Structure 1
Amino acid sequence: MSYVTEFPAAPSAVAEAHFLARLSVETDCADVHAAMRLGEQDFVLLHVVGSQETFARRHIPGAQHLPWSQMTAERMAQWPQETLFVVYCAGPHCNGADRAALTLARLGLPVKIMLGGLTGWADEGYAFASEERASACV
């Protein structure tokens, strides 16, 4: 018996509920990129860590900078209550997206974390907003 089979696989209904729950709170870089590329962006993408200078240097195109520590009911009221927020941070080594997601959920707002953050975006080979501006100036 291997470490893989030491514990039996969950029954299908348990696995379905588990993966549905994960997909209800997570998305990934490829799905976000595809939605934006196809003009199907039905969410607000939030860059939730760092200073304005850090954001200006490198962020995902179309993202808005709103650090998780600045998320308040008053600040979030600028969007309709049903707006889905997709939050990201620097990457797997950063918990800013988790903090943002928790804050938004506590405010009663729909939220998903974009797995991988900036690191995942770079790993997929997608352009950053600062790169787009630099190439447009050449």
Structure 2
Amino acid sequence: MPSFVSETPAATPEATAAYYARKLAFETDCWDVNASLAAGKADFVLLDVRSPAMFAASHLPGAINLPHGKMTAHRMAEWPDDTLFVVYCAGPHCNGTDKAALRLARLGKQVKVMIGGMTGWADEGFSFESEAAAA
């Protein structure tokens, strides 16, 4: 009798590779974003999709506050068509990144979700900025 783990057979290595390659095309994580920023290799625009008040209180270094409802064709035309956007919100309990990714994709923009959001960033021990600190 198989275990609870193996009662459903594992996917083939080829199917597993295809699944994870596809998954990584849709998302990134806090570590990769932080490492890219620290290395000066941010080839993406980092968007905080939370409210302006939450952004002012604390956000990721270098992030731009742009809630998904403000993502219009006119506003997004500020960036070249081939710009990659990385979106984040409060954390895994928040679907703001999903709404933002959907909105950006419908506007023809490339987008990845930063899994973990603010919660994941804090869990990694990375620093935050605030509008009060910037003033």
Shorter-chain TM-score bucket reads: over 0.9
2:46 is aligned to: 45
- Deviation track 1:25-63 (CA, whole Å, cap 9, x = no partner) reads 00000000000001110000000021x222111000000
1:36 is aligned to: 37
Query: How does 1:46-125 map onto structure 2 within 5 Å?
Result: 46-50=47-51, 52-125=52-125
Name the CA shift for 1:5/1:131 in 2 (closer, same or farther; >3 Å): farther
Query: 1:26, 1:104 → 2: CA distance?
Result: 14
1:128 is aligned to: 128
Query: 1:132, 1:111 → 2: CA distance?
Result: 29
Aligned-residue Cα RMSD (Å) equals: 1.7
Q: Percent identity?
A: 57
2:14 is aligned to: 13
TM-score by length of 1: 0.92
The code of the aligned residue for 2:4 comes to: Y
Query: 1:20, 1:132 → 2: CA distance?
Result: 40
Q: After TM superposition, give the deviation of residue 131 of structure 1 in Å.
A: 9.5
Q: Is the 8 A contact 2:46 2:63 kept in 1?
A: yes
Query: 1:132, 1:69 → 2: CA distance?
Result: 25
Gaps of at least 5 residues in structure 2 are none
Gaps of at least 5 residues in structure 1 are none
TM-score by length of 2: 0.94
